Amino acid sequence: MGVREVKRVRGGDGSSAEQFFRSFWPAVGPAVTGLYARTPVETRFLIRVLGLRRGDRVLDVPCGFGRHSLELARRGIRALGVDLNPRFIAEACGRARLEGVPAEFRVGDMRRLRLRAGFDAAINLFSSLGYYGEAMDQAFLRALCRALRPGGRVLLQVVNRDFIIHHLAPRMRYQAGPVRVREVRSFDLATSVVTTRWEASRGQRRWTGTLGLRVYAYHELVRMLEQTGLRVTGAWADFDRRPAVLGSRWFVLRGERARR
């Protein structure tokens, strides 16, 4: 097996996730992930597989700095983005106002989502599941399902546990634009939590953060979606037409709420 470092660690239970997302990620995340470049292609794919039309309403949680919600809104789809981070939400609101597009943004906690607004679709993208443990993931998916109209759809993009265990690099160093990054990772066989310790620097500035991510195998994701009342109606390897397979890095899964 490709797991080179096996260690019991805390993580994936929310112990450090909130702190990571409040302090480390806003400073470093956007620079290291290069997320903007992929967004138009991803959004075209979402629109196609979710069957979205102008005027439809989409819930995007967590939305980060609103890249998908904004792109959807540029195409006439009304989006509501929710994220924990006030800085990302302020940035997203500013862009929506500047461009005059129908996107709204709110600071909110995905662990306490209480929307029952009949959305046509809901999205959870770029492995934004698994930060707060399995029970919380299940509760979050239930809340997403409740926010949909009957027949509404969910799209989930998450890393594939079975890819991770074969490709886990215990240590990585790289340069992302002006940011130097060091990541040290470990995988807990008992819980399927990948814990990453990050160190980043830009000139004299330094940041550190630790995040535990519960990674899921395909069958676990399907079971979780079905237990929350969503029927899985599509599974892809990424934001393209390739079907999900054992070695896919990502899974993009579509679930549908029953029509009545």
Ligand X SMILES: C[S@@+](CC[C@H](N)C(=O)[O-])C[C@H]1O[C@@H](n2cnc3c(N)ncnc32)[C@H](O)[C@@H]1O
Say whether residue 52 binds ligand X (CB under 6 A): no
Interaxial angle between packed helices 86-99 and 67-74, expressed in degrees from 0 to 180 and rounded to the nearest 10: 20
Which amino acid makes up residue 63?
C
Instruction: Answer yes or no: are the C-beta atoms of 209 and 32 closer than 8 Å.
Output: no
Write out the binding residues for ligand X, residues 125-144 only, by CB under 6 A: 125-126, 128, 131
24 vs 163, beta carbon nearer ligand X: 24
Among 90, 92, 84, 148, CA closest to 115: 148
Among 11, 12, 62, 255, binds ligand X (CB under 6 A): 62
Q: Which residue is nearest to ligand X (CB)?
A: 64
H or E element: which one contains 68? helix 67-74
Site string for ligand X, 12-31 (x = CB under 6 A): ---------x---x------
Among 111, 146, 180, 182, binds ligand X (CB under 6 A): 111
Say whether residue 69 binds ligand X (CB under 6 A): no
Say whether residue 38 binds ligand X (CB under 6 A): no
Instruction: Answer yes or no: are the C-beta atoms of 113 and 92 closer than 8 Å.
Output: no
Say whether residue 239 binds ligand X (CB under 6 A): no
Helix (H, G, I), strand (E, B), or coil: what is residue 178? coil
Q: Which two three-digit tokens encode residue 67?
A: 């890249």
- Cα 38 to its chain centre, rounded Å, is 14
Q: What does DSSP say about strands 148-159 and 171-176: parallel, antiparallel, or unpaired?
A: unpaired
Q: What CA–CA distance (Å, rounded) separates 69 from 177?
A: 25
Which one of the spans 70-78, 84-92, 141-149, 189-197 is the region binding ligand X (CB under 6 A)?
A: 84-92
Site string for ligand X, 164-183 (x = CB under 6 A): --------------------
* Number of residues in contact with ligand X under rule CB under 6 A: 18
In the complex, least distance from residue 258 CB atom to ligand X, rounded to whole angstroms: 26
The beta strand positions in the chain, using DSSP E, are: 57-60, 78-83, 103-107, 119-124, 148-159, 171-176, 179-188, 193-202, 205-214, 230-236, 250-257
Say whether residue 45 binds ligand X (CB under 6 A): no
3 vs 33, beta carbon nearer ligand X: 33
Say whether residue 49 binds ligand X (CB under 6 A): no
Say whether residue 67 binds ligand X (CB under 6 A): yes
Q: What CA–CA distance (Å, rounded) separates 31 from 123?
A: 23
133 vs 152, beta carbon nearer ligand X: 133
56 vs 71, beta carbon nearer ligand X: 71
State the residues that interact with ligand X by CB under 6 A. Answer: 21, 25, 35, 62-64, 67, 83-85, 88, 109-111, 125-126, 128, 131
